[in-house]
Amino acid sequence: MGDLTPPQRAAALQTEGPLLVLAAAGSGKTRVITRRIAYLVGIGVPPWQILALTFTNKAAGEMRERVAHLMTQHERQTRGLTITTFHSLGARLLRRYAEVVNLNPEFTIYNSGDQATLVKRVIESMQLSTSNWPARSVLSAISEAKNKLLDAEGYAARAMDFYAKTIAKVFAGYQTALRAAGAVDFDDLLVLTAKLLRDNAQAREECNARWRYLMIDEYQDTNHAQFVIASLLAGKGEPNSNGPNICVVGDPDQAIYGWRGADIGNILDFEENYPKARVIALGENFRSTAPILAVADTLIRRNTRRKHKDLFTRRAGGDRIEVTICRDEHHEAALVTDWFKSLHEHRGEGPAVEAGIAWREMAVFYRTNALSRVMEDAFRAAAIPYTIARGTAFYEREEIKNALAYLRLLANPSDNVSLERIVNTPTRGLGNTTLARVEIFARQNEVQMLEALRSSARGEDSGINARAASAAGKFVELIDGWTGGGTFLGASVGASLAELVGRVIKESGLEEMYRKQAAVSKSEPDDERVDNLAELISSAREFELEFDAASDPAEAAPFAPETPPLLGMLRGYLESVALVADADTVDPSQGAVTMMTLHAAKGLEFPAVAMIGLEEGLLPHSRAAESESQLEEERRLCFVGITRAMRRLSITSAKYRTTRGISERTIPSRFLGEFGQQHVRVSDQSDAFSGNDSTGGPESWSDNRSGSQSLAPHKASNLSSLAGPLPYAVGTLVRHPQFGLGRIKSVVTGSNARAVIDFQAVGTKTLVLEYARLQRV
DNA sequence: AGAGGCAATTTTTTT
DNA sequence: AATTGCCTCT
């Protein structure tokens, strides 16, 4: 422990009773947690009595690895140690206590796409218009309720107006449909776990008996359900103690999930909940240079709702933060690209020979995912290797979703959303008409869709014709072939998960379907989808290897003892796929620049960081402009971004930005003016003719800012010259960036004025003038 | 039944 | 600009 600072050591050694560690950014928080776990085991606590909860799999994995590393150094066992995410823990507990919470132990975890499909179906079945009741907003209302531990009944009881009453009905219908499909959504994983622990003494006592030391990371981002889970898992503690052994670690200044129901009050009120709690603040920063820290500190001091703690470093020196005003997003991307290139190649000036910074040590942060595209193009053009932290992206590809839908149906035959997705993909003669009839039949006989298809195939009259019945028979046979008729046993059923996934992809006809599509489309054979399917098999193989290694005798119980190993593995695999986070895919071993949202950046650090899009409406985001508390959260988001940087930080703000096809004048982010002047170097590169650098600090553009606000809204130049009050004259010759030269044949005026244009190269097209980037010739 | 084309809509962050 | 959904044509 000699290498820890006194407060770090105090936090690691304080094993008994409630402990709140207020860990500033870069203060060695993970180090403290891992050392604490190692210390606990060192003084004789059995590892299986320790439970550490994180938010992402990546954080859990990293912690697990570091603990394992520490322990093997001291030749200690980690067997039974539980380091996992709230959601994974919920999933495991719910499988184990499935009957208690009235849940199918085979349950599938529905992601937001599945949820949307399901609510939409419920909304339609209630004869409501999906345009008045968009799935997204209905779901967010439901999610908000769930995070407060309100169920459909509770929500209905509080619903006063028509809107809330309707949501309540959809909520109830959605919940019924979820359960009918043997499915739970993300929120259910927390809500049902909280209820289980609250209402079932046996489950609670079993957990309390097993886990005697509880640790929670990123506590500032827990929502109410998570708070309840944590409190119940912690229990009351020994009669004469200061309270339970619960150690929470977090930083109120890094709370960025308020929109997801996270309650910053959980950490601010920790001392009220546990009056005898000890509080340890870790304020010393070991990550960033002094100027970076000073800027972060100056910014975050603007927040009123916070507990101030001094951020300090003992290191001296370091470059000033670069703030660059650029013309537009392309210019911005070019500046970042150049900067990264110079950092990479540059071997330092003068006596201090500084090695070039590796690609993997650089990152680009942005507020919204949409900003990544232009950066991506620039990196590709400049041949800079990059990766984007989007964990779900792979699993959201159509071909992968289809393959997974097959697998999910195997693991849970009631999963109707999955069945509907693939029953006719590739097409096998089970179209809408047939399915509608089978669904009626299924409802009348109170059986699952898959069963209804089976009956139809057997010749039972479900109202479908013979041809459809035979198609249904083939489909059911296919499924049974993979599951061994549901047993997951037998010679024809592969013993390996990867083998099963491979069989499904092949025998379902998915592979062939995409191969054919690739052959037909365009000139170049586009095998991307086929390749992705192959990658899915590899991911299953990888999981298989880890599944055995991670399998833990103390946790083996969740699945019923008679569960065939292959089925157990399949469920585990699907669960891991369902719970991936964006940040989970950040792999520092890759020699590539990482691009990610500010949210995904939390908990990471990079020697060189570029933050782009520091503009009003983007950061702070326009949707967060309603309240002061939302604005403060945006400021914290900015703070999180800044504090990820170890040595170099460059921030850009573009004067014009194209969103959804239209370029608009922007206003520099107010946060730029909150950095202070001392440690910032501002350079305005937006004027092509000047290389003017002003070192005056952010104040120097405050005039600029008010100036730009007073400017009349300025639409894209190409459009203001065209879409004016005068309609295009028929016969005008125009040029389109894609379609080339064309002549206007007719024009329809109005709010979405459009023109029919006859292009030389591609023939006649109807274009909306506002979006078509036309030039008069 | 199914594919392809056209039109309307899109605007945050994520387990 | 890009995606999604609806409608029509084969």
Average pLDDT over residues A412-417: 89
Please tell me the predicted confidence (pLDDT) of residue A718: 28
Please report the pLDDT score of residue A311 as a whole number: 85
Mean pLDDT for A551-572 is: 63
Residue A438 exposure: Cα atoms within 13 Å on the Cβ side: 27
Residues found in chain A: 777
> Would strands A680-684 and A693-694 be described as parallel, antiparallel, or unpaired?
antiparallel
Residue A773 has pLDDT above 70, yes or no: no
What is the structure's pLDDT at A729? 62
Burial A697-729 (b: 16+ CB within 10 A, else e): bbeebeeebeebeeeeeeebebbeebbeeebbe
Q: Is the pLDDT of residue A139 over 60?
A: yes
Q: Is A215 helix (H, G, I), strand (E, B) or coil?
A: strand
pLDDT number for residue A691: 41
Overall average pLDDT of the A253-265 stretch: 91
Q: What pLDDT sits at residue A57?
A: 85
Q: Rounded to whole angstroms, what are the CA distances from A17 to A33, A226, A235, A266, A269? A: 15, 20, 11, 18, 16
The string of DSSP letters for A611-626 reads E---BTBBTTBGGG-S
Looking up tokens 């019945």 gives: A469
Per-residue pLDDT at A607: 95
In angstroms, what is the C-alpha Rg of chain A? 29
Q: What is the mean pLDDT of residues A351-370?
A: 84
Q: Please, which pLDDT band fits residue A694 given cuts at 50, 70 and 90?
A: very low
Regarding beta strands A680-684 and A321-326, do their DSSP bridges make them parallel or antiparallel, or are they unpaired? parallel
pLDDT at position A445 over 60: yes
Comparison of pLDDT for A482 and A394, the residue scoring more: A482
**How far: A431 CA to C10 C1' (Å)?**
17
Given this model, what pLDDT does residue A698 score? 42
Is A169 catalytic? The answer is no
A659 backbone φψ class: left, alpha, beta (φ>0; ψ -120 to 50): beta
- Strand B positions closer than 7 A to protein CB: 1-4, 6-15
Asked whether A769 and A753 are in contact (CB, 8 A), the reply is yes
A74, pLDDT greater than 90 = no
- Of the candidate ranges A438-442, A546-550, A590-594, the one whose mean pLDDT is the lowest: A546-550
| Band of residue A280 on the pLDDT scale cut at 50, 70, 90 | very high
Whole-number mean pLDDT of chain A?
83
CA of residue A553 to C1' of nucleotide B8, angstroms: 55
Identify the pLDDT of residue A728. 56
Grade residue A491 by pLDDT with cuts at 50, 70 and 90. low
- The pLDDT confidence band at residue A428, using thresholds 50, 70 and 90, is confident
Model pLDDT, residue A244? 94
User: How would residue A150 be classed by pLDDT, with cut points 50, 70 and 90?
Assistant: very high
- Given 3-state DSSP classes, what are the helix, strand and coil percentages for chain A, each rounded to the nearest 5? 50, 15, 35
Band of the pLDDT at A703, cuts 50, 70, 90? very low
Q: Which CATH number fits domain A321-385+585-701: 3.40.50.300, 3.60.20.10, 3.40.640.10, 3.20.140.10?
A: 3.40.50.300
Nearest nucleotide to A618 by CA–C1' distance?
B12
CATH class of A396-581: mainly alpha
Highest mean pLDDT out of A210-214, A528-532, A759-763: A210-214
Given the residues A217, A221, A251, A253, the one annotated as active site? A217
pLDDT band for position A236 (cuts 50, 70, 90): confident
With beta carbons less than 8 A apart as the criterion, state whether A305 and A44 touch. Answer: no
Q: What is the pLDDT of residue A520?
A: 66
| Residue A618 near residue A386, CB atoms below 8 Å | no
Which residue, A211, A78, A205, A203, is CA-closest to A552? Answer: A78
The answer to whether the C-beta of A87 is closer than 7 A to strand B is yes
Give the pLDDT band of residue A588 (cuts 50, 70, 90). Answer: low
- How far is A29 from A705, CA to CA, in rounded Å? 39
Please say if A179 is a catalytic residue.
no
Report the amino acid identity of residue A161: D
Output the pLDDT for position A8. Answer: 95
Query: What pLDDT band is residue A203 in, cutting at 50, 70 and 90?
Result: very high
| Whole-number Å distance between alpha carbons of A655 and A666 | 5
Is A503 tagged catalytic?
A: no
State the CATH architecture for A111-180: Orthogonal Bundle (1.10)
Tell me, what DSSP letter sits at residue A314? S
- Distance in angstroms, CA of A427 to C1' of B1? 9
Name which of A243-257, A300-314, A631-645, A706-720 the model is least confident about.
Answer: A706-720
Q: What string of DSSP letters covers A329-363?
A: HHHHHHHHHHHHHHHHH---SSSS-PPPPPGGGEE
A257: left (phi over 0), alpha (psi -120 to 50) or beta: alpha
Q: Which residue is nearest to nucleotide C3 (CA to C1')?
A: A660
What stretches of A585-664 show up as alpha helix (H) in DSSP?
Answer: 598-601, 628-643
Task: Give the percent of chain A with pLDDT over 70.
Answer: 82
CA A304 to CA A24: how far, in whole Å? Answer: 17
The amino acid present at A550, given as its one-letter code, is: A
Distance, CA of A724 to CA of A683 (rounded, Å) = 35
According to the model, what pLDDT value does residue A738 have? 55
Specify the DSSP class assigned to residue A723.
S
**Annotated catalytic residue within A278, A390, A636, A644:** A644
Sign of the dihedral defined by the CA atoms of residues A350, A355, A356, A362, in that order? negative
| CATH 3.40.50.300 applies to domain A6-93+192-284 | yes
Residue A690 to residue A706: CA distance in whole angstroms: 22
- pLDDT band of residue A735 (cuts 50, 70, 90) is low
Q: Which nucleotide is nearest to A773 (CA to C1')?
A: C1
Asked whether residue A766, judged by its CB, lies under 7 Å from any atom of the DNA or RNA strand B, the reply is: yes
Residue A591: its pLDDT value, please? Answer: 85
Measured between its terminal Cα atoms, the distance across chain A in Å is 75
Whether residue A776 has pLDDT greater than 70: no
Tokens of A764: 């006649």
The single-letter code of the amino acid at A400 is I
Are the C-beta atoms of residues A83 and A63 closer than 8 Å to each other? yes
Q: What digits encode the pLDDT tens for the residues A89-104? A: 999 999 999 989 999 8
Residue in the block written with tokens 């239209």? A662
A145 touches strand B (CB under 7 A): no
> Quick check: A182 and A107 in contact, CB under 8 A?
yes
* Average confidence (pLDDT) over A447-469: 83
The arithmetic mean of pLDDT across residues A376-396, rounded, is 85
Whether residue A762 is predicted with pLDDT greater than 90 in this model: the reply is: no
Out of A165-174, A185-194, A341-350, A554-563, least confident range = A554-563
Provide the residue ranges of all domains of chain A, joining segments of one domain with +: 6-93+192-284, 111-180, 321-385+585-701, 396-581, 719-776
Q: Could you tell me which of A287, A251, A195, A243 has the C-alpha nearest to residue A648? A: A287
Instruction: Characterize the bridge pairing of strands A246-250 and A645-654.
Output: unpaired
Task: Confirm whether any atom of chain B, the nucleic acid strand, is less than 7 Å from CB of A187.
Answer: yes
Are A725 and A349 a contacting pair, CB within 8 Å?
no
Nearest CA to A378 out of A326, A340, A321, A343 is that of: A340
Determine which of A68-82, A239-253, A277-291, A557-571 has the lowest per-residue pLDDT on average.
A557-571
Burial of A38 (0-12, 13-18, 19+ CB in 10 A): buried
Place of tokens 């549901």: A486
pLDDT of A730 reads: 66
Q: Which residue has the tokens 């501002």?
A: A682
A531 is catalytic: no
A585 is catalytic: no
**pLDDT exceeding 90 applies to what percent of chain A?**
45
Cα distance between residue A50 and residue A670, in whole Å: 45
Which residues make beta-bridge pairs with A597?
Answer: A366
φ, ψ for residue A573 (rounded to 5)? -65, -50
Nucleotide in closest CA–C1' contact with A431 = B1
pLDDT at A709: 29
Give the integer Cα–Cα distance in Å for A25 and A178. 40
Burial call A307-337: b when 16+ CB within 10 Å, e when fewer: eebebebeeeebebbbbbbbbbbebbbbbbb
CATH architecture of A719-776: Beta Barrel (2.40)
Residue A701's pLDDT band, with cuts at 50, 70 and 90, is very low
Question: Are A6-93+192-284 and A321-385+585-701 the same fold in CATH?
Answer: yes
**Top-confidence residue, A144 or A729:** A144
Within 7 Å of a protein beta carbon, the nucleotides of strand C are: 1-2, 6
Is A254 catalytic? The answer is yes
Higher pLDDT, A485 or A627: A627
Q: Is the CB of A97 under 7 A from strand B?
A: no
C-alpha distances in Å from residue A122, one per residue of A142, A171, A435, A448, A702? 13, 9, 17, 17, 52
Provide mean pLDDT across the span A694-718.
Answer: 34
Asked if residue A624 has pLDDT above 90, the reply is no
Cis bond upstream, residue A620 (ω within 30): yes
β-pairing verdict for A733-736 and A775-776: antiparallel
pLDDT of A662 reads 83
Structure-block tokens of residue A507: 């025998």
pLDDT of residue A61: 86
- In A176-236, the DSSP E strands lie at 183-185, 213-216
pLDDT of A659 over the 80 cut: yes
Give the helix/strand (H/E) hosting A18: none
What whole-number distance in Å separates Cα of residue A773 and Cα of residue A717? 10
Model confidence at A502: pLDDT above 80? yes
A656: part of which helix (H) or strand (E)? strand A656-659
Q: Give CA–CA dist A164/A141, Å, rounded.
A: 9
Separation between Cα atoms, residue A29 and residue A150, nearest integer Å = 34
Q: What is the mean pLDDT of residues A318-334?
A: 93
Model pLDDT, residue A521: 57
Per-residue confidence band for A526, with pLDDT thresholds at 50, 70 and 90: low
